[in-house]
Amino acid sequence: MISIALSKGRILDETLPLLKAADVVATTNPDTSRKLIFATSRAGVRMIIVRATDVPTYVQYGAADLGVAGGDVLGEFGSEGLYQPLDLGIARCRLVVAARKGFDYERAVRQGARLRVATKYLQTAREHFAAKGVHVDLIKLYGSMELAPLTGLADVIVDLVSTGNTLKANQLVAVEEIAQISARLIINQAAYKLKRAAIQPLLDALTKAVAK
Ligand code: ATP
Ligand code: PRP
């Protein structure tokens, strides 16, 4: 049995068509069901539904053989023991530093004062600012990051941007890009060796679907 870990929302929505092209279709619609394990049309392949940030954990421990995770999640929560053979080109966005309109980010960075940074991506933010030699106080948040500069909790945020609508609606602007993000297929390294006969055809079919 091969298990594929996916998260509800955009990853599931954008991965299902690719899986369909690889002849993997859930027998019950995972979008509308409260179930967490789904049999598929492909014998010996099932889907499991986990939180986006938990996908690497399931695959690292071999509780799932394959998974789909954003580059942001892999960068922040680790990718040890994972094989990353395929960029799926879905869930595209950018990881940026954003601030209130009018906040002089360049000056704040130049002056060397401690910058207060609110984010869900502590590790990534720490590495980014350390590489620039900027001293930061990091504040961990779990969502609605945009609120932090508006309420005085932080000077800037490190968050994902796609259309830019959320920043705009909150009078924030991106002041620096940290990374271009997309979702990748991840595979448990041991499973890739031990279950190669089952995984390779799936990987080949997904590679073909992505190239279309
Ligand atoms: P969790 O449920 O664990 O808190 P989440 O709410 O961040 O995770 P999603 O919003 O579905 O889960 O995001 C899943 C992935 O999709 C992210 O890791 C990122 O790679 C990508 N993503 C997030 N926001 C956007 C966006 N606005 N546009 C495109 N892709 C995005
Ligand atoms: C993500 C991200 C931004 C928003 C950016 O949030 O954290 O808030 O998308 O997208 P935009 O530039 O197209 O407006 P999401 O919609 O996933 O909500 P959540 O992670 O807070 O649940």
pLDDT digits (tens, 9 = 90+) for 7-28: 999 999 999 999 999 999 999 9
- Predicted pLDDT of residue 78: 81
Residue nearest to atom 12 of ligand 1 (CA): 52
Burial of 112 (0-12, 13-18, 19+ CB in 10 A): exposed
Rounded to two decimals, what is the model's pTM? 0.96
CA distance 180 to 163: 13
pLDDT digits 0-9 by tens, 133-185:
999 999 999 999 999 999 999 999 999 999 999 999 999 999 999 999 999 99
Whether 72 contacts 31, CB under 8 Å:
no
- Predicted pLDDT of residue 113: 81
| Residue in 8, 161, 163 to alter for ligand 2 test, most ligand atoms within 8 A of Cβ | 161
CA of 211 to the centre of ligand 1 (A): 23
Q: Residue 111 pLDDT > 90, yes or no?
A: no
Nearest-atom number in ligand 1 for the CA of 183 is 20
CA of 153 to the centre of ligand 1 (A): 23
